[in-house]
Amino acid sequence: MAEDCVDVSITSDDEQARRLCALVVAFSNARSPIPSADIHAAYYPNLTDDSFRRKFARDREKLVECGMVVRSVEKDDKEASWQADASSFADSSLLSADDALMLDVLCAQLVDDPSFAQRDDLRLALAKIDHAFGTLSAARIAPQRREGAKVLQTMLSCLAGGSLARITYVDAKGTRTERTVAPYGHFGLRDNVYFVCAQTADGVVDGHDLRTFRVDRIERAVPAKGRFTVPEDFCVDDHVLLPFQMGPTTCMATLLPTKDSDRDMLLELERCATPQSDDTRRVAVSSLADAARWCVAAGIEPRTPDELVSSWRDLLSKASQFEAQGVPEVSGAHAKTAPKGRRGRPGGANEMRELVALVSSLGHEGAALTPEAVSARLGVTLERARFLINLVLTACTDTSYQLPLSLSDDDGVVLSRSQGVTGRPIRLTRGEADALVAALDELGFPSDDALRQEVLAAFAPVSLTEQQARTHVDAALSQGDNEVLEACSRTISSGGTLSFLYTASRQGTPERRVVSPQALRRSGDLWYLDGHDHVRHALRTFRIDRMAEVRVAATQEAEGTGPLLPKTERQVKVAFLSKAPLDLFEWHGLEVLGEHDGAIVATLPFYGGQWLPRHLAACVDLVVTQDEELAALVRKTAC
């Protein structure tokens, strides 16, 4: 396996990450404080005394970023010795392997979600919590290292530390401004992250002048002089706007929900609108055109003003005549380029945290790291996974605390018993813990949920409390729902098949379904399972609260449902004639193929139902598809 990595260059970031990994192993296994001279000789052999002291001091700061605190132990008239603070180590016995797996599977959707600001910290937190890297569990998409990643981390850091931020912002009209702001909070919306910030004047924070900034429009962000405190009555939910409310309010609209209204979009409307006595909702509007599109997609009827009603009817009229058209092919320079090799690699900070998570997982004889599991769990390529495993393998060579690792047949490594040196689970950093709490909030785990309490007790920093984490969750899962979620998560990990009774509607009759689960996701306050239905031979979505008598399907039961089709949904090809629809709506599962003459060519999964036809009808003048069946459904939607 080491031979696979010979041609991969070792950067200074890699060397630092490997050295920190070796230090984590040493301080995890030392039964007494380690003298400075021993650390110098083993890990900094080519440095002078002064250079060693400076570099070791910087490395201790880096170890704190990974979750390990190393303290000096004073000895009379002797050189300093060092040991890891006991608070650095997690008590993983408080959390079962099944619970860790379920948490990993449930949170996977947020790690993949560009609108979840703390997704990278969450990815690393889950790597520490579910430390089974020898088997495949929750697979996830490689974290997107977008250009705004540094800006996002700066804004999150300023928010966490209560320091002002100096930003360069480009608004929707292309106007560039320099501002000093106090970030009060953030939220995710339609694949973007937004920060709610208080403006400043002459260095004074005006808590009444709040503005919302989209992260990908912040060209530059740096910490600025000055501190702030978030007001106790501030709630970021008050600033989460509907798509047609971005910008100054131009008018008020009256909207009427119908029996066919999209449930999730109706919940969004209820949050931002004022109910009227005639069952309508009164809501502020910034863009009438966007409001009309949103109403079409939501299945909601606008009543006033007349301009909004006219625009809505015009869209429906165009949708009633929608025809399939050819979608341009993209190739060559127009095609989306796939990442190669180590392009987009995570850099030193994340790499050292990845290595610490990997080496911490090797806590018992037989613990393993396989390239496939590391790749899926960390969201990196197989080549990158092999490289990380190679760094772990070589991290402790020729030291007193060498990990007794052996190569396995699958290009991985296994912890043997030869020397007794092992990894130990490390507690989360404050950023990782905050990301985990935010994810638990987002997923609806109440503050008294047993799984939530167990994972925080086992892995959160000792100083973190639920009050500090600002939990405000009222939703709760029933015991039955929790059991279904656990069964689904275990089956996703094992690649097995579930059998359950499913009630499609409140008045429906339960039917036995046999499903190969693919993913769990949360929408609104409900959990859903996406999986391949072996009876209907298609990808289907099931509400968790409507599933009963869930069990692993017997082999003959799965085989008796007929020939199995590939576990993939039907993909439809579309071309967006502008970026406006992508900013207006969140297109689930969209994969951009490239651009052609200004059109954005992409594929979308189609599961049946009204969601996709309605959204295409809402953007009927800005989108084309070559799928005849889908075009017919768009026309039907307009009737």
Quick one: DSSP state of residue 282?
Answer: E
| Beta carbons within 10 angstroms of residue 129's beta carbon | 24
Please tell me which residue, 189 or 120, carries the higher pLDDT value. 120
Residue 170 burial (C-beta neighbours within 10 Å; 0-12, 13-18, 19+): middle
Question: Which residues lie across from 214 on neighbouring strands?
Answer: 194
Distances (CA, A) of 312 to 4, 306, 316, 634, 635: 59, 10, 6, 15, 15
- Where do the CATH 2.30.30 domains begin and end in the chain? 149-239, 479-559
- Cis? peptide before 305, omega within 30° of 0: yes
- The confidence score (pLDDT) of residue 479 equals 56
Q: Please give the backbone phi and psi of residue 250, each rounded to the nearest 5 degrees, phi first.
A: -105, -25
Q: Residue 419 — very low, low, confident or very high, per pLDDT cuts 50/70/90?
A: low
DSSP H/E element including 397: none
pLDDT band, residue 496 (cuts 50/70/90): confident
pLDDT at 350: 79
Q: Which amino acid is at 602?
A: A
Q: Is the separation of the CB atoms in 218 and 168 below 8 Å? A: yes
Cβ neighbours of 263 (radius 10 Å): 11
**CA distance to 178, 204, 439, 526, per residue, from 185 (Å):** 20, 18, 15, 25
Is domain 149-239 in CATH 2.30.30, yes or no? Answer: yes
**Over 70: is that where the pLDDT of 289 sits?**
yes
- Alpha-carbon gap, residue 200 to 205, rounded angstroms: 4
- pLDDT-derived band of residue 95, with 50, 70 and 90 as boundaries? confident
* Residue 180 pLDDT greater than 90, yes or no: yes
Q: Report the alpha-carbon distance of residue 616 to residue 624 in Å, rounded.
A: 8
Give the mean model confidence (pLDDT) for residues 396-423. Answer: 78
How many whole angstroms separate alpha carbon 567 and alpha carbon 496? Answer: 12
Taking all residues of the chain, what is their mean pLDDT, rounded to a whole number?
Answer: 82
DSSP single-letter state for residue 565: P
Q: Of how many residues is the chain composed?
A: 639
Lowest mean pLDDT among 348-357, 419-428, 449-458, 551-560: 551-560
User: What six digits make up the tokens of 121?
Assistant: 């910290």
Eight-state DSSP code of residue 115 = T
Region 634-638: mean pLDDT is 90
- By CB atoms closer than 10 A (0-12, 13-18, 19+), residue 163 is middle
Which residues 6+ apart lie within 8 Å of 287 measured at CB?
A: 244, 246, 247, 250
pLDDT tens digits, one per residue of 340-374 = 332 333 445 678 889 989 998 888 888 889 888 88
What residues does 502 pair with on adjacent strands?
Answer: 511, 547
More confidently predicted of 5 and 208: 208
For 29, the token pair is 């296994």
Residue 307 is predicted with a pLDDT of 96
Q: Say yes or no to pLDDT of 569 above 90.
A: no
**Which 3 state secondary structure label does DSSP give 2?**
helix
Query: Could you tell me which of 444, 386, 450, 449 has the C-alpha nearest to residue 412?
Result: 386
Q: What is the pLDDT of residue 466?
A: 43
3-state secondary structure 486-554: HHHHHHHHHCCCEEEEECCCCCCCCEEEEEEEEEEEEECCEEEEEEEECCCCEEEEEEHHHEEEEEECC
Q: Which CATH number applies to 479-559: 3.40.50, 1.10.3470, 2.30.30, 1.10.1760?
A: 2.30.30
Confidence (pLDDT) at 505: 67
Beta carbons within 8 Å of 86's beta carbon, 6+ residues apart: none
What residues are paired with 604 via a beta bridge?
Answer: 572
Token readout for 297 is 């997609």
| Bridge-based pairing state of the strands 70-73 and 81-84 | antiparallel
Say if residue 524's pLDDT is above 90.
no
- Average pLDDT (536-550) is 82
pLDDT value, residue 189:
73
Q: SS3 for 480?
A: helix
Provide the pLDDT for residue 160: 81
Cα–Cα distance measured from residue 67 to residue 64, given in angstroms and rounded to the nearest whole number: 5
Checking if the pLDDT of 555 tops 80, the result is: no
Mean pLDDT of 146-156: 74
**415-432 as b/e, with b when 16 or more CB fall inside 10 Å?**
beeeeebbbbbbbbbbbb
Place of tokens 């629809």: 581
Q: What pLDDT is stored for residue 469 in this prediction?
A: 41
Could you give the CA distance from residue 424 to residue 30 in angstroms, rounded to a whole number?
Answer: 12
Going across the sheet that includes 281-285, the strands are: 274-275, 281-285, 251-256, 301-304
Q: Which residue has the higher pLDDT, 118 or 312?
A: 312
Closest to 412 (Cα-Cα) out of 382, 377, 456:
382
More confident residue, 305 or 582: 305
Please give the residue that has the higher pLDDT: either 556 or 38.
Answer: 38
Residue 259: pLDDT band with limits 50, 70, 90: confident
Q: Span 598-606, mean pLDDT?
A: 89
Higher pLDDT, 569 or 245: 245
Q: Taking the CB of residue 458, how many other CB atoms lie within 10 A of it? A: 19
Q: Could you please report the per-residue DSSP string of 427-479? A: PPPHHHHHHHHHHHHHTT--TT-HHHHHHHHHHS-TT--TTTTT--------H
Measuring CA to CA, which residue among 452, 458, 429 is closest to residue 439? 452
What's the pLDDT score for residue 619? Answer: 94
Find the range with the poorest average confidence among 211-215, 360-364, 472-476, 602-606.
472-476
- pLDDT tens-digit series, residues 267-282: 788 888 899 998 999 9
Q: What is the pLDDT of residues 318-339, one digit of tens each?
A: 999 999 888 888 765 445 443 3
Strands 218-227 and 591-596: unpaired
The percentage of the chain sitting over the pLDDT mark of 90, rounded to a whole number, equals 27
Q: Residue 463: CB partners within 8 Å, gap ≥ 6?
A: none
The angle formed by the CA atoms of residues 353, 453 and 129, to the nearest 5 degrees, is 25
* Range picked from 60-64, 462-466, 493-497 for highest mean pLDDT: 60-64
53 pLDDT above the threshold of 70: yes
Question: What pLDDT score was predicted for residue 287?
Answer: 92
Token digits of residue 242? 């509907």
Q: Contact, 194 vs 214, CB < 8 A?
A: yes
Higher-pLDDT residue of 205 and 537 is 205
Contacts of 174 (CB under 8 A, 6+ apart): none
pLDDT reading at 576 higher than 90: yes
